[in-house]
Amino acid sequence: MRNLVVVLGDQLDRHSAALDGFDPAQDAIWMAEVAEESTHVWSHRVRIALFLSAMRHFCAEQRQLGRTVWYQSLDAAENTQTLAGELERSIREHRPQRIVWVEAGDYRVRESLTAVVQAANVPLDVRPDRHFFCSTEDFRKHAAGKKSLRLEFFYREMRRKTGILMDGKEPAGGAWNFDVENRGSFGKDGPKRVPQPARFPPDAITQAVLELVARRFPAHPGSLAAFDWPVTPAEAEAALEDFITHRLSQFGEYQDAMWTNQPLLYHSRLSAAMNLKYLHPKKVCDAAERAYRTGVAPLPAVEGFIRQILGWREYVRGIYWQYMPEYAERNALDAHQPLPKWYWTGETDYHCLRQAIRQTLDFGYAHHIQRLMVTGLFSLLLGVRPQEIHEWYLAVYVDAIEWVELPNVLGMSQFADGGTMASKPYAATGKYIQRMSNYCAGCRYDPTESVGSTACPFTTLYWDFIDRHQLMLSKNQRMVMQVRNLERMSADSRAAIRRQAAQLRESLE
Ligand SMILES: Cc1cc2nc3c(=O)[nH]c(=O)nc-3n(C[C@H](O)[C@H](O)[C@H](O)COP(=O)(O)OP(=O)(O)OC[C@H]3O[C@@H](n4cnc5c(N)ncnc54)[C@H](O)[C@@H]3O)c2cc1C
Ligand code: SF4
């Protein structure tokens, strides 16, 4: 055998650089389902099922192309249940001249597999991941010599570099950013019409996977009942088309809005297909730009959407590889509170949290503002140990892969990186949630109250957060107003908030 081409569960790109020059007569693809990847964090069952189903579909397609795929299934008797164990065994059995893979998406996996290859003394050919617009090397160059790495500068660089949404040297419409137009809420009446997203009922391969996951991981969180994720490139393209035609035009204005029993609203639900690499982000950005150029969707919606992919998605990957492995250990706010147990069940009477967590358990999905300003915000204000909340996010979302999940959680949502990503903590009272949703109308707590039996926990914990971090926050220009508001409070009010916050923390431990 010449090349053993390793394809991991988040590398299901039929045009992958790992397959360049593949010769069916001398090369083979290697894939493995192992329990470790579902148990190193307590993975949601839909997340496990989506990975396995997409992997099995990829394997079937490659075999149809006449390529040899050594595919280790989860139930195989000899399976060591770790990627390292399986790769080590395959190298011993097949003695390839060379191992080929594209850059991994997870530091832990990269380190363990590299160690196996080095121990076996086989040459390793690591190829770039063409699923990104910005290579890790180019991000390093972008970061070199900069004091802070803000998204906005990086995003403009990416627009210029790719020509996406550009008119010559100028941004389309004359502005880089339409954020002000993209912060709408629904008002009392709620969303007018929310089109149902395209659904992808399980085929025979997915059915078998769902049965396997139910049998092998009975105690893991999440329900398999509503599984309808796209699991092939063709299905992912149909999901893209459906989003562009039916939801993109509303995406911008309502991208920060939330509504009871509306898990998706106008979001795309495309992150998992992009992260597992069977939908190329360029295809997604091009389709969105086409919608603008042909009058299907307005510029603020299209710019807002492209910013998430060409901007945020690329940027967080850059941050991850720039700062790992020490990034994962950061805890700039010295937070040590345990994660409330109900994050795993949704059994809480805080209505916003119940909504966000229950839909996460039902579908493996919550949109960005639910992740940032409901589950993430509560954890930030409560002071949960960042590594514990990181493990929760990595476990429960279908799109969770460490390169994208960790900077979003540790950096953007918990401010645990001390400001590498965000210029200030995303801290807010319950009034923000009241403004952006109808959750508070169905809740027994009052977002305007910070003490007393109906005080909203977000509001209590917000003031307590500003109080606990007053010194650090007063040095941040963007937080000065919030600190001043605290300072205007009487000593008695501050003491009452501290007491209430302490009781809340105790009750949640
Ligand atoms: C605490 C927290 C944890 C997160 N964890 C993940 C994660 O594990 N995996 C993940 O893919 N995204 C994560 N995100 C980013 C974002 O919430 C999801 O990408 C998005 O909700 C996926 O749903 P969608 O496809 O409907 O996105 P849309 O709202 O339709 O957005 C379009 C696309 O933009 C990209 N995108 C949007 N925001 C971000 C962002 N901040 N970082 C990277 N890409 C972005 C995604 O690819 C997404 O599909 C997280 C955000 C927060 C605040
Ligand atoms: S009152 Fe507070 S806890 Fe209740 S839904 Fe509103 S923000 Fe959430």
What is the per-residue pLDDT for 380? 98
| Separation of CA 447 and ligand 2 centre (Å) | 6
How remote is the CA of residue 366 from the centroid of ligand 1, in Å?
9
> Is 182 a pocket residue for ligand 1 (Cβ < 6 Å)?
no
Assess whether the C-beta atom of 268 lies below 6 angstroms from ligand 1.
Answer: yes
Task: List CB contacts of 146: < 8 A, sequence separation 6 or more.
Answer: none
Give 368 Cα–ligand 1 centroid separation in angstroms: 6
Structure tokens at 81: 């249940």
How far away, in angstroms, is 269 Cα from ligand 1 center? 9
Angle at which helices 281-293 and 233-246 cross, to 10°: 30
Contact criterion met (CB below 8 Å) for 194 and 267: no
- Catalogue all structural domains in the chain, each as residue range(s) with its CATH number: 3-127 (3.40.50.620), 136-195+247-323 (1.25.40.80), 341-508 (1.10.579.10)
378 lines ligand 2 (CB under 6 A): no
Q: Which amino acid is at 252?
A: G
| DSSP string covering 345-391 | T---S-HHHHHHHHHHHHHS---HHHIIIIIHHHHHHHTB-HHHHHH
Which residue, judged by its Cα, is nearest atom 8 of ligand 2? 352
Give per-residue pLDDT as tens, 448-502: 999 999 999 999 999 999 999 999 999 999 999 999 999 999 999 999 999 999 9
Q: Report pLDDT digits (tens) over 286-340.
A: 999 999 999 999 999 999 999 999 999 999 999 999 999 999 999 999 999 999 9
Per-residue pLDDT tens for 67-102? Answer: 999 999 999 999 999 999 999 999 999 999 999 999
Q: Which of 349, 352, 370 to mutate to test the pocket of ligand 2 (most atoms within 8 A of CB)?
A: 352
The pLDDT confidence band at residue 118, using thresholds 50, 70 and 90, is very high
For the CA of 412, the nearest atom of ligand 1: 53
Cα(320) to centroid(ligand 2), Å:
33
The half-sphere exposure of 73 on its side-chain side, counting CA atoms within 13 A, is 14
Binned at pLDDT 50, 70 and 90, residue 509 comes out as confident
Indicate which atom in ligand 1 lies nearest the CA of residue 414.
1
Beta-bridged to residue 30, according to DSSP, are: 6, 70
pLDDT at 296: 96
